[in-house]
């Protein structure tokens, strides 16, 4: 199955010049959702993962389904101010200004084998901040997974030497 046909392009969203990759069309299709989940599962099933850490908010969808299938826990990485208990935070740069993501301080135990997941890799800024959160908690980062990688933005270059797995790669806009 080519998941490209299940992903919808929305031009100029959320602002002019951005081609938004809409994964709601993939999730609403039972076959596509199952295919994506199985492909991720096959890649990580033998890696002894203790927790999937998913990034708000589209990283929660496949991330939590994957955690369930891997029979491991799921922990959310959220935008600032959303998590109710004690958190650690990481600031990162946006095109204009900065943003902050947070993780509960008790979400990850030292040495736990962690898989990071988000729906899409663009410039890599968000995922780079998430990596730093896992490292601050002394988690062992086993891999980084995306549904979509916009390879022409070279986000990989900001993710160090970690193992990266993407289901669909776009080489040009």
Phi, psi (deg, nearest 5) at residue 92: -145, 160
Cα atoms in the Cβ-side hemisphere of radius 13 Å centred on 60:
7
Residues 6+ apart with CB under 8 A from 144: 115, 116, 117, 127, 131, 159, 162, 163, 164, 165
Q: Does 21 bind ligand AMP (CB under 6 A)?
A: yes
Paired sense of beta strands 98-104 and 73-79, if any: antiparallel
- State in angstroms the smallest separation of the CB of 20 from ligand AMP: 4
Q: Does 131 bind ligand AMP (CB under 6 A)?
A: no
Residues 49-68: x/- map of binding to ligand AMP (CB under 6 A)? ------x--x----------
Q: Which position among 54, 63, 76, 124 is part of the footprint of ligand AMP (CB under 6 A)? A: 124
Active-site residue 95, yes or no?
Answer: yes
- State in angstroms the smallest separation of the CB of 110 from ligand AMP: 27
Q: Does 102 bind ligand AMP (CB under 6 A)?
A: no
Q: Which position among 119, 139, 144, 147 is part of the footprint of ligand AMP (CB under 6 A)? A: 119
Beta carbons of 104 and 74 less than 8 angstroms apart = no
Q: Which is nearer to ligand AMP, 45 or 75 (CB)?
A: 75
């Amino acid at each position: 199955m080519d998941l490209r046909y299940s992903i919808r392009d929305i031009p100029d969203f959320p602002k002019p010049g951005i081609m938004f990759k809409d994964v709601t069309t993939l999730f609403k299709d039972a076959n596509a959702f199952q295919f994506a989940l199985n492909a991720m599962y096959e890649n990580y099933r033998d890696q002894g993962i203790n927790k999937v850490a998913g990034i708000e908010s589209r990283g929660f969808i496949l991330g939590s389904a994957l955690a369930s299938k891997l029979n491991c826990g799921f922990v959310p990485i959220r935008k600032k101010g959303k998590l109710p208990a004690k958190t650690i935070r990481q600031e990162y740069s946006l095109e204009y200004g900065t943003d902050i993501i947070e993780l509960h301080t008790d979400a990850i135990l030292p040495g736990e084998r962690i898989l990071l997941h988000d729906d899409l890799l663009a410039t890599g800024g968000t995922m780079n901040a998430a990596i730093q959160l896992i490292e601050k908690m002394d988690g062992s980062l086993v891999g980084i997974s995306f549904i979509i990688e916009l390879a022409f933005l070279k986000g990989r270059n900001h993710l160090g030497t970690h193992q990266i797995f993407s289901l669909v790669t776009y080489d040009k806009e």
